[in-house]
Structure 1
Amino acid sequence: MKIKQVALHEVALPLVSPFRTSVGVQEHRVALLVELRTDDGVTGWGECVAEEDPSYASEYLSGAREVIRRFLLPVLTADPRLSAARAAELMKPVRGHRMAKAAVEMALLDAELRRAGISLAEHLGAVRESVPVGVSVGIMDSLDELITAVDGYLGAGYARIKLKIEPGWDLEPVAAVRETFGSAVALQVDANTAYSPVDLAHLRKLDAFGLTLIEQPFAPDDLETHARLAARIDTPVCLDESITSARDAVTALRQGACSIVNVKPGRVGGYLEARRIHDLCQAAGVPVWCGGMLETGLGRAANLALAALPGFTLPGDISASARYFHRDITDPFVLEGGRLRVPSGPGIGIAPDAAGLAAALVTTDLVPLG
């Protein structure tokens, strides 16, 4: 495969409602899309999940654009045997920048599989035509607002509720949701690294609520404190920000820092590395689930393909398009009985519609090649 043309599109989509976590508040989603055309006229699409600022991760959107332009595309276009499978090795001399690499790999996979007439789901090894999905509920201004939001999501049919928490907004909101909706609701919490080692005793109080898991309470590099919590709490500990590769997953599991892994393709460098994490966790009997980064329909489609693999036994944070956007850049994904259909068409199985892309477009950058 030879890359003939690349366009980098920045899009901005207003969110249905502000989304607050311990990291900050988002009112819109700005995303970087990679449109890659091959020499035989096939177009592939990728999405970079880096945010506008380096708060969730060290990467950020304008930096990812620069890395793709200046460093990743030149090494890929120079290789006469370019393929999606070889891309990670070709990009290896560029240290880090996994979200940028994941976006390029996704576009290569999409183009390669479209040409072959194979879906990403089939290529990865999917075993389901639809997957159960959960919803992530941000930090609210009041318990009443939280209960109203959760009631709406349960009424829509979501298979699992995840509450964002932080110091000062944890035990009380979790208790309110449990008391209102009962023990049958699959409930988990996500701290996004908001706690420190002094909070171990406090976090153990979450055991009272029968949670599916507690996600990433401590700093990404603090496996020791995660392991200490895991040894002292009945609630399973799940890692997110700490896992940036299959090697990280092996290390965390060996140290007892978690018993569940949240797999985000952008965070780990792409869908092929995400599949490797799935494979090793499945072999070890460790559940995995697919996290979300407020993706457009492009990233949502690819995440659904990943979540259809056999080891993804917990509902992911993929959610219907309407959970976040009034209007997406693709046809919307619609919740059906708490599940979303996995795209079955070639490649990621979906592409931007012209009107949706035009409505969200901020800038387009045609990258000179060669």
Structure 2
Amino acid sequence: MRVRQLTAYVLRVQLRKPFRHASAVRNYSDNILIRAELADGTTGWGEGVPRDYVTGETAEGAIEQLLATPVSEQLAGEPASWLEVIAICDRFQPAALVDDPRGSYGNSLRAAVELSLLDAYGKLFGEPVSKAIEAYPGVAESLLARSDSVRYSTTIDAESKRKLWRSSLKMRAYGFRQCKVKVGADCDADAARMGVIRRWIGPRMDLRVDANEAWLPEKVLQHAKALAPFDITCIEQPVAHEELASLTELRRELDVPVMLDESLTSLHDAHEAIRLSACDLFNIRISKCGGVLNSLRLAMLAKEHGLGYQLGCHPGETGILSAAGRHFASVVRDIRYLEGSYDHHVLATVPTMPDLTFGYGGRAPALTQPGLGVELDLDVARGSLRDERVITVDE
């Protein structure tokens, strides 16, 4: 069954409250949505969340990139199996409109198109997207393990100190096992915040920190020492990407694992991090890394080199990306930390159905419906749509 048409939308997703970290303050997210339609009328949805300070992308730029891409040529064919669908997804390469030495510009668009195809063909085949992950050629059995449920971690952003005890107590009462805390460049302030958080969140919570590139290389050990009393299990992206090489030496003196996020956007980035011995874990995000298939490749590479990985998310993801992450997490094993499915907790209005927000303790069931198992409610989303373009694929 051929792809007949793609419809691209820019959706402005309002957040319930501003989300703060060292690199940005965000009140909304402009997302790129793709609706793929097959020749028989079967449709599928995909989503990408462009972040200009991570991969240089914007939602408007993603539309421009899609219009410049020869989609009729790249998406041609009538796939009858997951292997053939994967081949078409791999052929889709957004037009190179800018210099892209890291191979990440266009990743949000790539993710959105790929997910729309996996969703549509999953519905056509009557199988969930998780089956496509399991069918990926060359994936080692040691990387896969199907689970009936997953468990998400939570996050405390860079909010004021006076609110910390309330947020911490709430996370503890809700039964989470893991919590990420956003930290910044003020060592003393971060240590004071972590003291409040650890006091109220309890001694059993697995706490990790995310600096979002805020630390200078010469200050990393000082920051880590200040946070050591609070038993943190990971430091995410301590330095700016431009200072990545500094982590080679710093890791020899750190007693806590280092995770890369802004420095881990592509297979090029991953190979460079491995070459430099710059990290212990990858933060894989489906949109940032260019889709489910690229995310799987990154997990495979991490496993091959003895590294860990988490599956992360972006604030502002709708249920489309929540569903994609759920499918990934329910079949890929050894995910150290899992983020996502924050829908009702983060979004002012949830434009997808059914509701995929995790439950008590961050628990959520695996998705077994054909495709992604989620649909965009256009009636709810209509007022937030900022652009719409139709691209004919099958003339």
TM-score by length of 2: 0.86
2:376 aligned counterpart, secondary structure: coil
Is 1:167–1:194's contact at 8 Å kept on the other side of the alignment? yes
Q: 1:92 to 1:57 in 2, by over 3 A?
A: closer
Q: 1:90 to 1:8 in 2, by over 3 A?
A: closer
Deviations 1:293-352 (A, max 9, x none): 121000110011112234343232214322202321112223333212222111111111
2:14 aligned counterpart, secondary structure: strand
For residues 342 and 320 of structure 1, the distance between their equivalents in structure 2, rounded to whole angstroms, comes to: 15
Shift of 1:281: 2.1
Pick from 106, 110, 128 the counterpart of residue 119 of structure 1. 128
The aligned residue for residue 67 of structure 1 is 65
The aligned residue for residue 262 of structure 2 is 241
The aligned residue for residue 328 of structure 1 is 350
Q: In the TM superposition, what are the counterparts of 1:354-369 in structure 2 within 5 Å?
A: 354-369=378-393
Deviations 1:28-77 (A, max 9, x none): 222111001011221111101104xx223311111011111221534424
Q: 1:355 to 1:153 in 2, by over 3 A?
A: farther
The aligned residue for residue 166 of structure 1 is 184
The aligned residue for residue 175 of structure 2 is 157
Aligned AA (2:155): S
1:222 aligned counterpart, secondary structure: helix
Shift of 1:250: 3.6
- Is it true that 1:350 corresponds to 2:370 in the alignment? no
Moved more, 162-171 or 234-243: 162-171
For residues 10 and 268 of structure 2, the distance between their equivalents in structure 1, rounded to whole angstroms, comes to: 32
Shift of 1:210: 1.3
Q: In the TM superposition, what are the counterparts of 1:72-87 in structure 2 within 5 Å?
A: 73-77=71-75, 83-87=85-89
Q: 1:366 to 1:92 in 2, by over 3 A?
A: closer
Could you tell me which runs of 5 or more consecutive residues in structure 2 were left unpaired when the two chains were aligned.
Answer: 135-144
Aligned AA (2:87): A
For residues 156 and 359 of structure 1, the distance between their equivalents in structure 2, rounded to whole angstroms, comes to: 33
Pick from 135, 143, 165 the counterpart of residue 154 of structure 2. 135
1:367 aligned counterpart, secondary structure: strand
Deviations 1:184-221 (A, max 9, x none): 11111111111222212322312232112010111224
Shift of 1:92: 7.1
- Is it true that 1:41 corresponds to 2:61 in the alignment? no
Deviations 1:88-137 (A, max 9, x none): 34417745322211211111111122211111123213511221101222
For residues 29 and 91 of structure 1, the distance between their equivalents in structure 2, rounded to whole angstroms, comes to: 24
Is 1:186–1:212's contact at 8 Å kept on the other side of the alignment? yes
For residues 229 and 74 of structure 1, the distance between their equivalents in structure 2, rounded to whole angstroms, comes to: 48
Q: 1:104 to 1:332 in 2, by over 3 A?
A: same
Is 2:65–2:95's contact at 8 Å kept on the other side of the alignment? no
For residues 255 and 324 of structure 1, the distance between their equivalents in structure 2, rounded to whole angstroms, comes to: 36
Q: 1:194 to 1:39 in 2, by over 3 A?
A: same
The aligned residue for residue 291 of structure 1 is 312
For residues 113 and 175 of structure 1, the distance between their equivalents in structure 2, rounded to whole angstroms, comes to: 47
Is 1:11–1:363's contact at 8 Å kept on the other side of the alignment? yes
Moved more, 142-151 or 310-319: 310-319
2:158 aligned counterpart, secondary structure: coil
Aligned residues: 367
Shift of 1:153: 2.6
Deviations 1:249-299 (A, max 9, x none): 243234221111111122222111111111232344422111111210001
Moved more, 252-261 or 293-302: 252-261
Is 2:311–2:335's contact at 8 Å kept on the other side of the alignment? no
Shift of 1:139: 0.8
Could you tell me which runs of 5 or more consecutive residues in structure 1 were left unpaired when the two chains were aligned.
Answer: none
The aligned residue for residue 186 of structure 1 is 206
The aligned residue for residue 219 of structure 2 is 199
Q: 1:360 to 1:341 in 2, by over 3 A?
A: farther
Q: 1:2 to 1:255 in 2, by over 3 A?
A: same
- Is it true that 1:267 corresponds to 2:288 in the alignment? yes
User: Identity percentage over the alignment?
Assistant: 27
The aligned residue for residue 141 of structure 2 is none
Is 1:290–1:317's contact at 8 Å kept on the other side of the alignment? yes
Shift of 1:80: 7.0
